[in-house]
């Protein structure tokens, strides 16, 4: 994919940004740690870039501070931005550190944890619209004048240069890496990282990852222009921008080797896996690179590979949603529909079978009015906690052997998550 053409951000600008970000109270050098479990599962040597441990919980402060510190030095003292969450916190912290005011426009659907965190960093928050594009349109109208400057989440060379400092850190901590895997929303992070690595380690493969429900890069590259989606649908809200810019598209075309997409099911699995094996709480966007290296779309066998865990701002409601889907996919949450003759004792009998197999019933629903049922028949729908697929199969076999018709329902799918 790499082509030789002029780009808007030079490596020297990333170096200057790195100098500006020398204050550890603004941006810290986040660790890179080897994951034994992911190395075994992927076939490569996996080193996690733990950017979710950044002060604001994501990489976004890098670009925001690089942009705002220069603007404040030039006389601007008021900023506005649109964000689904992480950029909001980055702008809020950067503006406060620089002694400036900031207003963040967020979708009404933004996680409450990200809204609260943004306010805690000193910014005023306005909730507008149902998605990032609605928030963006409104925020841009608030910067129509000389007194307020709009801080774009990715379509700005200063933002891209700031994000590129992450690429310098990756190279410093893992100079012999073969592949780096970076999530893509609007493309600011991968543009900066790819530009830095193109200078420092041109033989390194740079791979971008998008969520299927918000993927635009493949089509944008095919058409030679940015493509914007009317609607996005993904649990990875940090990369749910629904479009990239001319700046980031050109940089991706120039410096990025490969683009892959992953499903929400794969992302949910990666979130749970990182929690279990790496003991790290990572949001959907940050887990997407891990989903990619474990998928059939990306071969990292025998390579030293660095997935960028770009953010960790996962609110409790989303944790519940993601883990529920991931556990259902593993069949550790098992939903069974059992057809019965609607007579006393049937629920007790089936519950006893489940108990005999050491499983716990989370809840049960008794449904008599369903199309296709005869008079005197009913469905019992159980949600059961199991230890995994083998345990689930054993329970189903036992219920069937007792003469019941059993159907497993609501298994997680890429379409239904």
| DSSP state string for 363-381 | EEEEE---TTPPTTEEEEE
More confident residue, 72 or 373: 72
Assign 6 a pLDDT band (cuts: 50, 70, 90).
low
Backbone torsion region of residue 118, taken as left when φ is above 0, otherwise alpha when ψ lies between -120 and 50, otherwise beta:
alpha
pLDDT at residue 412 tops 60: no
Decide: 91 and 102 in contact? Cβ < 8 Å: yes
pLDDT at residue 368 tops 60: yes
Residue-range domain boundaries for the chain: 11-58+158-326, 61-150, 332-408
Distances (CA, A) of 58 to 7, 162, 285, 299: 25, 13, 10, 27
pLDDT at residue 411 tops 60: no
Write out the two tokens for 80.
């506005």
CA atoms within 13 A on the CB side of 176: 5
Distance CA 149, CA 357 (A): 63
**What percent of the chain is predicted at pLDDT more than 70?**
96
* Domain 11-58+158-326, CATH among 3.40.30.10, 3.40.50.1100, 2.120.10.30, 3.40.50.1240: 3.40.50.1100
Distance CA 56, CA 286 (A): 14
- Segment 361-379 shows an average pLDDT of 89
Tell me the per-residue pLDDT of 195-236, one tens digit each, with 9 for 90 and over: 999 999 999 999 999 999 999 999 999 999 999 998 889 989
* 260-263-264 Cα angle (round to 5): 135
Q: Which CATH architecture has domain 332-408?
A: 2-Layer Sandwich (3.30)
- Segment 374-402 shows an average pLDDT of 94
More confident residue, 209 or 241: 209
Assign 410 a pLDDT band (cuts: 50, 70, 90).
low
pLDDT at residue 347 tops 60: yes
Query: Which pTM does this prediction carry?
Result: 0.87
Distances (CA, A) of 238 to 109, 286, 353: 13, 8, 44
pLDDT at residue 155 tops 70: yes
pLDDT at residue 319 tops 70: yes
The residues, any chain, with a CB within 8 Å of residue 343's CB and separated by 6 or more, are: none
Matching fold, domains 11-58+158-326 and 332-408: no
Assign 413 a pLDDT band (cuts: 50, 70, 90).
very low
- Segment 274-298 shows an average pLDDT of 96
- Mean pLDDT, the chain, rounded, equals 92
Assign 54 a pLDDT band (cuts: 50, 70, 90).
very high
**Nearest Cα to Cα of residue 167 among 303, 63, 300:** 63
- Segment 286-311 shows an average pLDDT of 97
Helix, strand, coil tally for the chain in percent (to 5): 45, 20, 40
Q: Which CATH architecture has domain 61-150?
A: 3-Layer(aba) Sandwich (3.40)
| DSSP state string for 172-232 | HH-TT-SEEEEE-SSSHHHHHHHHHHHHH-TTSEEEEEEEGGG--HHHHHHHTS----S--
């Amino acid at each position: 994919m790499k082509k030789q053409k002029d780009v808007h951000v030079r490596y020297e600008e990333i170096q200057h940004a790195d100098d500006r970000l020398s204050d550890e109270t603004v941006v810290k050098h986040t660790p890179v740690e080897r994951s034994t479990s992911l190395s075994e599962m992927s076939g490569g040597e996996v080193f996690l870039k733990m950017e979710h441990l950044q002060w604001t919980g994501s990489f976004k402060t890098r670009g925001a501070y690089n942009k705002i510190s220069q603007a404040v030095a030039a006389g601007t003292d008021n900023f506005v931005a649109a964000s689904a969450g992480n950029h909001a916190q980055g702008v809020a912290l950067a503006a406060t550190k620089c002694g400036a005011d900031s207003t963040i426009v967020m979708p009404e659907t933004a996680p409450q944890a990200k809204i609260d965190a943004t306010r805690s960093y000193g910014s005023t928050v306005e909730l507008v619209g149902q998605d990032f594009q609605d928030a963006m349109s409104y925020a841009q109208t608030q910067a129509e004048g000389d007194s307020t400057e709009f801080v774009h989440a990715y379509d700005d060379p200063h933002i891209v240069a700031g994000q590129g400092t992450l690429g310098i850190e990756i190279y410093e901590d893992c100079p012999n890496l073969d592949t780096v895997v970076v999530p893509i929303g609007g493309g600011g992070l991968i543009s900066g990282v790819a530009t830095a690595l193109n200078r420092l380690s041109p033989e390194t493969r740079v791979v971008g990852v998008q969520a299927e429900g918000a993927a635009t890069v493949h089509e944008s590259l095919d058409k030679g222009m940015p493509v914007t989606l009317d609607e996005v649908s993904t649990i990875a809200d940090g990369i749910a921008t629904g479009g990239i810019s001319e700046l980031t598209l050109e940089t991706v075309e120039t410096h990025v080797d490969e683009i892959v997409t992953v499903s929400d099911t794969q992302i949910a699995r990666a979130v749970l896996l990182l929690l279990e094996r790496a003991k790290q709480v990572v949001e959907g966007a940050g887990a997407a690179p891990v989903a990619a290296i474990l998928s059939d779309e990306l071969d990292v066998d025998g390579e030293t590979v660095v997935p960028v865990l770009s953010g960790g701002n996962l609110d409790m409601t989303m944790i519940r949603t993601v883990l529920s889907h991931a556990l259902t996919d593993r069949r550790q949450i098992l939903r069974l529909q059992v057809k019965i003759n609607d007579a006393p004792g049937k629920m007790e009998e089936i519950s006893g079978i489940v108990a005999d197999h050491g499983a716990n019933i989370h809840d049960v629903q008794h449904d008599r009015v369903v199309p296709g049922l005869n008079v005197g028949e009913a469905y019992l729908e159980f949600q059961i906690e199991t230890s995994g697929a083998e345990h689930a199969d054993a329970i189903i076999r036992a219920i069937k052997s007792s003469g019941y018709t059993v159907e497993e329902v609501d298994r997680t799918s890429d379409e239904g998550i």
